Amino acid sequence: MVCVAAIDAACGWRVGRSGVDSRKGKIGEKAGASKLALRYGFWFAAGGSSKRRGGRMNLLEEKWLPVRRSSGQVDWIAPHQISEPDIVAFAANRADFNGALAQLMIGLLQTTTPIDDEDVWDGFLDKPPTTEVLQKWFEPAAEAFLLNGEGARFMQDFSLTAAEGAECTIDALLIDAAGGSAIDKNTDHFVKRDTIKAMCPHCVAAALFTLQTNAPAGGAGHRTSLRGGGPLTTLLVATPSHCLWQDLWLNIKPQRNFLQQGGDAQKTAKHFTFPWLADINRIQPAGGETQPLQVHPHHVFWAMPRRIRVDFTEVQTGQCDVCKRDSTQLVHRYVTKPQGLNYKGVWRHPFSPYYEIKGDWLPMHPQPGGFSYKNWLAWVLGVKQGKKSVQAAGIVNYFLQERKKYQKSGQFRLWVFGYDMDNMKPRCWYETTFPLYGLAEAKRATQIQNLIANRIEAAEQAVFYVRQAVKQAWFGESDLRGDLSFVDKAFWDGTEPDFYRQLEHLMSQARTESGIDLDDDKFIIAVGETWLKVLTQCATKLFDVDIVGAGPIDQQDPRRIAEAYNGLQRNLKGDAIKIILRLPVSEKKNKNAKSTAKQQVQSSP
């Protein structure tokens, strides 16, 4: 798992993360038409790589997407080139840009593809459409991808003017930029101020989409994204990935299937899909909300909670502080205004898992500690255990239910990523991939879900025991509280290979009609004992060698360490963890042993 620290010790008011920036630059007076034409003409002549529409940059024609080719070369392409076979990945300088660009291209393909049949979809997976075909698909959406100039602009408010909005430096578009409060208090230790002073138009476009897609809490009236602040995203990818096209196309449904998932497909006016093509009041009344039925189903990819307008009138020549390329049109500021689209109601984004709380289903968000196999079941197959219910992302469910022939090859994974947000402050960017396994038969699906859930629950119980023992060894019975999350991470990392080996074994049995009965007592005991051995060995090693045992003996209390170690071993051999794994418990225990063990499980966090 990759964790890109994006920590601002004291985030304050700021647009991009918050809403009001304490650093304001002067937005220049609006240039006359001839001056604008001259300025834009110079810019585009300097680029010289793509067609222009009346002196305006169109992101469907501009070579602005950074990609890596199979040779290792980094290149910039236009969207219609995305099916070229030697393109293997996005290659932006920022991890959040790469995740956002993948969602942008999937959204563009889903919005424009005429494919209505699963067989035709299947044919395009290995033999993608040509660049000419993709150009025809994208052409009807061209007016929505103009980045600059008068009128509608990509991901920018249709009618916002410089006089109406708060002026902000361009780095405020970045979710992890130093906050205004941190700058005022001189606490911007990790993300320094003034590191991003200017952006090229290509990075501005990527930053706009990234912010609108992930928009965190931003102060009064500055809305979060359609999925809340810093959503968790799960996308299907091929492994090994032969080309980027496959990774994107795996997340596309036939159009008729997609249009059934929510929204009003009869709202065909383009601003119901691309909200920046008209004044915000055409969708949402002043002070109102935006519900799914107020817009087209494709709107889910193009949500615009923030009202932003970039200043393209005062630009300079130099190096972009994000991509480090030279540009003749470096942008330095933008304006913003509160009261953007306020997404409420039963939204279901196809890329996010959802959890149930009090009858409502809410999108999941990354949490401190990142991702591990403890998340696998919920985010791949979903879980429903008592009050804990999670549904996998819509595209994952569709793939496992409708594209079963791909599930036996083991060549697909789940790409999981997102910001762990503390309100408006990003704590970390997390990113990893999970193996993807599916089940065809409902009865075995339930059995396998229960078995996997038991393994994860037993691991959670074991790591609780380790954390408890480490605390006792170091602090005794003290009420001192500290951050022991490193214990959890070491435990999950240490047991992960064995978990996936056992998972693959269980999946193999579940797929085979003549396989072992997954409810057979002997089978349950065999796999349970194997997993308990893994947990016990890892827990013991962490305590005895890697954590407590690694400290200098002259600075520790041997008696306290011995007591903590013995307590850890008793717990690992106790009934609580055995009951979770459906293993036999000691007959010497009194008749209340199971009840006591269950209470012990319930008391653990």
Q: Following DSSP, what letter does each residue of 75-107 receive, concatenated? A: EEE-GGGTT-TTEEEE--SSHHHHHHHHHHHHH
Question: Which whole number is the average pLDDT over 67-80?
Answer: 98
Question: Which whole number is the average pLDDT over 405-411?
Answer: 74
Q: 438 versus 576: which is more confidently predicted?
A: 576
Provide the 8-state DSSP code for 169.
Answer: E
For residue 183, what pLDDT is reported?
44
pLDDT band at 3 (very low <50, low <70, confident <90, very high): low
pLDDT band at 49 (very low <50, low <70, confident <90, very high): very low
Instruction: State the chain's mean pLDDT as an integer.
Output: 86
> Which of the four CATH numbers 1.10.390, 4.10.860, 1.10.132, 3.40.50 does domain 439-605 have?
1.10.132
pLDDT beyond 70 at 296: yes
> Which residues, in sequence order, are CB contacts of 19 under 8 Å at separation 6+?
13, 218, 219, 220, 221, 222, 336, 338
Tell me the Ramachandran region of residue 320: left when phi exceeds 0, alpha when psi lies from -120 to 50, beta otherwise.
beta
pLDDT band at 24 (very low <50, low <70, confident <90, very high): very low
Distance of CA 276 to the CA centre of its chain: 24
Q: 190 versus 262: which is more confidently predicted?
A: 262
For residue 423, what pLDDT is reported?
86
pLDDT band at 53 (very low <50, low <70, confident <90, very high): low
Q: Which helix (H) or strand (E) holds 412?
A: strand 412-422
Question: Coil, helix or strand for 421?
Answer: strand
d(CA 198, CA 190): 20
Question: Which whole number is the average pLDDT over 71-99?
Answer: 98
| 168's tokens | 């902000």
pLDDT beyond 50 at 404: yes
* Residue 517: count of CB within 10 angstroms of its CB: 12
pLDDT beyond 60 at 257: yes
- Return the closest-CA partner of residue 347 out of 297, 306, 304, 305: 297
pLDDT beyond 80 at 85: yes
- Say what angle helices 442-475 and 558-572 make with each other, to 10 degrees: 160
Give pLDDT tens digits for 432-479: 999 998 765 656 778 888 999 999 999 999 999 999 999 988 888 777
Question: Which whole number is the average pLDDT over 167-190?
Answer: 69
d(CA 204, CA 223): 20
| 39's tokens | 């300025």
Q: 243 versus 29: which is more confidently predicted?
A: 243
Residue type, 62: E
Give CA separation, 105 vs 59, 205, 233, 252, 460, in Å: 12, 13, 14, 10, 38
For residue 394, what pLDDT is reported?
98
Give pLDDT tens digits for 340-353: 999 999 999 999 99
For residue 596, what pLDDT is reported?
52
| 410's tokens | 């083991």
pLDDT beyond 60 at 9: no
Residue type, 125: L
Would you list the DSSP string of 326-382?
EEEEEB-EEEEES----B-SS---TTS-EEEETTEEEE----TT---GGGHHHHHT-
pLDDT beyond 70 at 188: no
Question: Which whole number is the average pLDDT over 23-32?
Answer: 36
Would you list the DSSP string of 48-79?
-SS--BTTB-BTTTS--EEEEETTS-EEEE-G
| 318's tokens | 């130099």
Question: Which whole number is the average pLDDT over 95-108?
Answer: 99
- Return the closest-CA partner of residue 147 out of 47, 282, 268, 295: 47
pLDDT band at 44 (very low <50, low <70, confident <90, very high): very low
For residues 577 and 436, the answer to whether their CB atoms sit within 8 Å is no
Going from N- to C-terminal start, the domains of the chain cover 53-227+243-337, 439-605
Residue type, 187: T
d(CA 402, CA 396): 10
For residue 182, what pLDDT is reported?
46
For residues 335 and 166, the answer to whether their CB atoms sit within 8 Å is yes
| 254's tokens | 């036939």
> Which of 50-59, 64-73, 74-83, 467-476 shows the lowest per-residue confidence on average (mean pLDDT)?
50-59
Q: Which helix (H) or strand (E) holds 431?
A: strand 425-435
pLDDT band at 179 (very low <50, low <70, confident <90, very high): low
Longest Cα–Cα distance of the chain, Å, equals 93
Give exposure, 8-44, as e/b (b: 16+ Cβ within 10 Å): bebbbbbbbbbbbbebeeebeeeeeeeebeebbeebb
pTM, rounded to two decimals: 0.86
pLDDT beyond 50 at 105: yes
For residue 445, what pLDDT is reported?
78
d(CA 561, CA 147): 63
Give exposure, 461-492, as e/b (b: 16+ Cβ within 10 Å): bbbbbbbbbbbbbbeeeeeeeeebeebbbbbb
d(CA 173, CA 171): 5
pLDDT band at 302 (very low <50, low <70, confident <90, very high): very high
pLDDT beyond 60 at 519: yes
* Residue 339: count of CB within 10 angstroms of its CB: 15
Give pLDDT tens digits for 303-342: 999 999 999 999 999 999 999 999 999 999 999 999 999 9
d(CA 351, CA 416): 10
pLDDT beyond 50 at 378: yes
The pair phi, psi for residue 571, each rounded to 5°, is: -65, -40
